[in-house]
């Protein structure tokens, strides 16, 4: 694909979108921002559509005339199965179906490390391949495995290029020792999404969404193959984290984080999603 694409971006009021939208605009893309929450905080040149991805008619109208869909909308943590099913599974199918109906040839899907969370942390110096088989750690992770599976279906059956980004830990900076291995910086997130838009005819791909961390164990190969060149390394924050860990027990590696790439999501108490409406009330 060539520069200056018309990008329909779902989940545009979310935190990952806030990281990537400015950089995509700088790189010449034109964005239609889609979210069910208010989108007033976005730059003026962004077209905004407030709708749920589960409303198929509104969604089709919102993505029409786009070159590509970047699908970030979803429940990003553990939640009741019926909610996950409606938003993350049915919502993703709605996105891919809208792409098929509207003749959109590429979809970039936000998957997650939690699609493969029960994969063991490899020995030092070894890497988990981008396309390691799904081993979900939660209903959330299972919905991302289904997202990947739907992506494969729409590629094989309908020829739509589908790049699934298995995002690890996207935060402004690493928050704990695990993220020395799994951090995805905001700038690298932008580089990753841009690479997914620009690579010529990717077909179906699974790619780790991770920065160039010295302590990383997620393979950089899938990223390199689509032209993603991460620039950031969580090691820059290692000494600050070590200092804080002296008086904050949440920073060091837990047993789950030593064993599985999904870390605490593999425990009996995975981090749970609190709906935005409830957060505003509290
Ligand atoms: N942040 C991370 O570290 C991380 C890691 C792995 C995967 N991901 C994935 O990346 C994506 C974005 O994550 P985030 O951290 O920005 O989450 P977020 O919660 O900040 O943003 C998600 C956005 O999706 C919107 N949304 C939810 N349901 C919707 C619906 N039915 N219709 C329209 N919009 C809807 C929400 O309003 C929200 O603005 C998610 O799919 C998440 O699973 C994120």
Share of the chain above pLDDT 90, in %: 94
* Residue 140 is among the residues annotated as catalytic for this protein: yes
**3-state class (DSSP) for residue 212:** coil
Instruction: Decide: residue 137, CB within 10 A, 0-12 exposed, 13-18 middle, 19+ buried.
Output: buried
154, 164 in Cβ contact below 8 A? no
Amino acid 18: pLDDT: 97
Determine if ligand 1 sits within 6 Å of the CB of residue 107: no
Determine if ligand 1 sits within 6 Å of the CB of residue 76: yes
16 vs 23: CA distance, rounded Å: 12
Sequence spans of domains, the chain: 6-281
Instruction: Choose, from 140, 154, 217, 228, the residue flagged as catalytic.
Output: 140
Which structure tokens are listed for 39?
């989108």
Probe target for ligand 1 pocket from 72, 115, 265, with the most ligand atoms within 8 Å of CB: 72
CA of 203 to the centre of ligand 1 (A): 24
Amino acid 69: pLDDT: 98
Whether 40 shows a pLDDT value over 90: the answer reads no
Which structure tokens are listed for 175?
């928050």
As its CATH architecture, domain 6-281 has: 3-Layer(aba) Sandwich (3.40)
Amino acid 282: pLDDT: 67
Which structure tokens are listed for 172?
């402004």
Question: pLDDT (tens digit, 9 = 90+) per residue, 67-88?
Answer: 999 999 999 999 999 999 999 9
Determine if ligand 1 sits within 6 Å of the CB of residue 185: no
Q: In which residue are the tokens 């969604």 written? A: 59
270, 137 in Cβ contact below 8 A? yes
Determine if ligand 1 sits within 6 Å of the CB of residue 91: yes
CA of 125 to the centre of ligand 1 (A): 32
Radius of gyration of the chain (CA): 18
| DSSP assignment string, 178-233 | THHHHEE-HHHHHHHHHHHHHSS---EEEEEE----TT--B-SHHHHHTT------
Share of the chain above pLDDT 70, in %: 99
Please name the residue whose Cα sits nearest to atom 32 of ligand 1: 52
Whether 3 shows a pLDDT value over 70: the answer reads no
């Amino acid at each position: 694909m060539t520069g200056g694409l018309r990008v329909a971006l779902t989940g545009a009021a979310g935190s990952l979108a806030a990281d990537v939208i400015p950089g995509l605009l700088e790189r010449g893309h034109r964005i239609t921002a889609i979210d069910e929450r208010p989108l007033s905080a976005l730059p003026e040149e962004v077209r905004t559509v407030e709708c749920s991805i589960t409303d198929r008619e509104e969604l089709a109208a919102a993505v029409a005339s786009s070159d590509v869909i970047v699908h970030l909308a979803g429940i990003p943590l553990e939640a009741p199965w019926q909610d996950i099913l409606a938003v993350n599974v049915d919502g993703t199918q709605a996105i891919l179906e809208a792409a098929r109906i509207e003749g959109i040839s590429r979809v970039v899907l936000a998957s997650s490390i939690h699609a493969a969370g029960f994969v063991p942390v490899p020995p030092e110096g070894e890497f988990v391949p981008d396309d390691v088989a799904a081993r979900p750690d939660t209903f959330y992770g299972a919905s991302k495995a289904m997202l990947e599976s739907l992506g494969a279906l729409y590629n094989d059956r309908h020829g739509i290029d589908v790049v699934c980004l298995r995002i690890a830990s996207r935060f402004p900076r690493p928050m704990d020792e695990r993220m020395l291995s799994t951090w995805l910086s905001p700038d690298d997130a932008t580089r990753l999404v841009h690479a997914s838009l620009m690579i010529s005819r990717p077909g179906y791909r699974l790619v780790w969404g991770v920065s160039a961390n010295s302590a990383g164990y997620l393979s950089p190969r899938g990223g390199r193959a689509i032209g993603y060149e991460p620039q950031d390394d969580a090691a820059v924050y290692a000494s600050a984290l070590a200092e804080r860990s002296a008086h904050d027990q949440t920073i060091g590696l837990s047993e789950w984080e030593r064993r599985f790439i999904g870390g605490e999501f593999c425990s009996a108490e995975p981090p749970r999603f609190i709906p935005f409406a409830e957060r505003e009330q509290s």
